[in-house]
Structure 1
Amino acid sequence: MNTYWTIQRKNVWEQAKVIGCLTGSSEHIWPEFEVAYQWMIEQMSKRLNCLPSAPVWVWVDRPDMRSKNQLGIKGVETVLLEVKLNPDLVLLSDFVSWHYVLNNFTVEFYDNEPIDKMLSWERIFDIETLCSLQDYGDCILQGVTPTIHIEQLKCIKEFIAK
């Protein structure tokens, strides 16, 4: 089992405690990101050999909660949860390159590469190559998983996003 981290709204955490698991929800996907999320759901299903479902997002490294980008929506009660998961149930990708997918861009390793855009999106999972590219910068690892059972979760910190 590996340790991962997820940031969730407090009401989602409370619901997970009642139903016994944390699952993703399609209702929070912005319409402009539906194509990217559907693609990620298909990748999860194929690569993790699971039924298609909205992802639960996790981080490999504990997020720095002082970072403005981690806090979520201002004023919302939020929790940082520690998660113990079998790494075979987590599809890792690079945070920065995932934004290429979200914005419907081609993930290019080199300038003006002749590659199909949707095929290029699979490169977000090629962590080794991404991290070795001189101009790329630091890789920030994130992951998706279909379900996290309550016994795999530990509430570390509750906070209100500033």
Structure 2
Amino acid sequence: MFVEKMILWTLQHIEDWQSAESDGVLRSVNFNRFSDEDFKRAYDWMRVKMSERIGPPPTPNSYPIWAWYQHRDSNNRKPDLRQIAFDLPEQEYVRVEFEMPNSHVLLSDFDMWHFVLNYWYVGKDEDDDEYFDRLQQDHDVSYYDQPPLPVPNLHRLIEES
């Protein structure tokens, strides 16, 4: 069955949600809340992938809104704010349900997204992982220490993985 729209859920910091309520616009990730350049780098990578697959963003400086289509399984689709994964100290979040056309959504795997956030290589299998580890050793670099890697070929391999 083809579905033209998806129901999604996003978790928004309470201040961002209050801003959206007052001006009627739900904005993408607020980088003022995050000082980590790697976080921005990962979202820049996601913007490129989204542009390739679903077209350019509405404005050149806009970022995607992270949302859940299915949190745990088909019986537990919406995220539960009471779960420990969302229990961020001294921060209050709200869960917002909204609907988006399929053509505006890029689905991804939450666990695999952490490979992008952490600048990790995704090997096809154990041999591929070992091959990449040897390449790093040969160049005396580690993606754990130096994102982005100063060796262009290795950086490209990480992004392609």
**Which TM bucket (shorter chain)?**
0.5 to 0.7
- 3-state DSSP class of the match of 2:97? strand
Contact 1:101 1:107 in 2 (8 A): no
CA distance in 1, matches of 2:158, 2:40: 16
| Number of equivalenced pairs | 119
State whether structure 2 residue 73 is matched by structure 1 residue 32. Answer: no
Equivalent position amino acid for 1:38 in 2 = D
State whether structure 2 residue 14 is matched by structure 1 residue 10. Answer: yes
What is residue 59 of structure 1 aligned with on the other side?
68
CA distance in 1, matches of 2:127, 2:45: 23
What is residue 119 of structure 1 aligned with on the other side?
160
Equivalent position amino acid for 1:118 in 2 = E
Q: So what's the TM-score if we normalise by structure 1?
A: 0.65
Greater relative contact order structure (CA < 8 Å, 6+ sep): 1
Note the C-alpha offset of 1:17.
1.8
- 3-state DSSP class of the match of 1:58? coil
Contact 1:48 1:91 in 2 (8 A): yes
Q: Which has the higher strand share?
A: 1
Equivalent position amino acid for 1:31 in 2 = E
Give unpaired runs (5+ residues) of structure 1.
Answer: 121-162
CA distance in 2, matches of 1:40, 1:77: 26
1:59-98, aligned counterparts within 5 Å?
59-60=68-69, 61-71=77-87, 73-98=88-113
Give unpaired runs (5+ residues) of structure 2.
Answer: 70-76, 133-156
Equivalent position amino acid for 1:26 in 2 = F
- 3-state DSSP class of the match of 2:17? helix
Note the C-alpha offset of 1:65.
2.4
What is residue 144 of structure 1 aligned with on the other side?
none
Contact 1:44 1:91 in 2 (8 A): yes
Instruction: Extract structure 1 runs of 4+ deviating beyond 6 A.
Output: none
State whether structure 2 residue 56 is matched by structure 1 residue 47. Answer: no
CA distance in 1, matches of 2:127, 2:42: 22
> For the pair shown, which has the larger CA radius of gyration, 1 or 2?
2
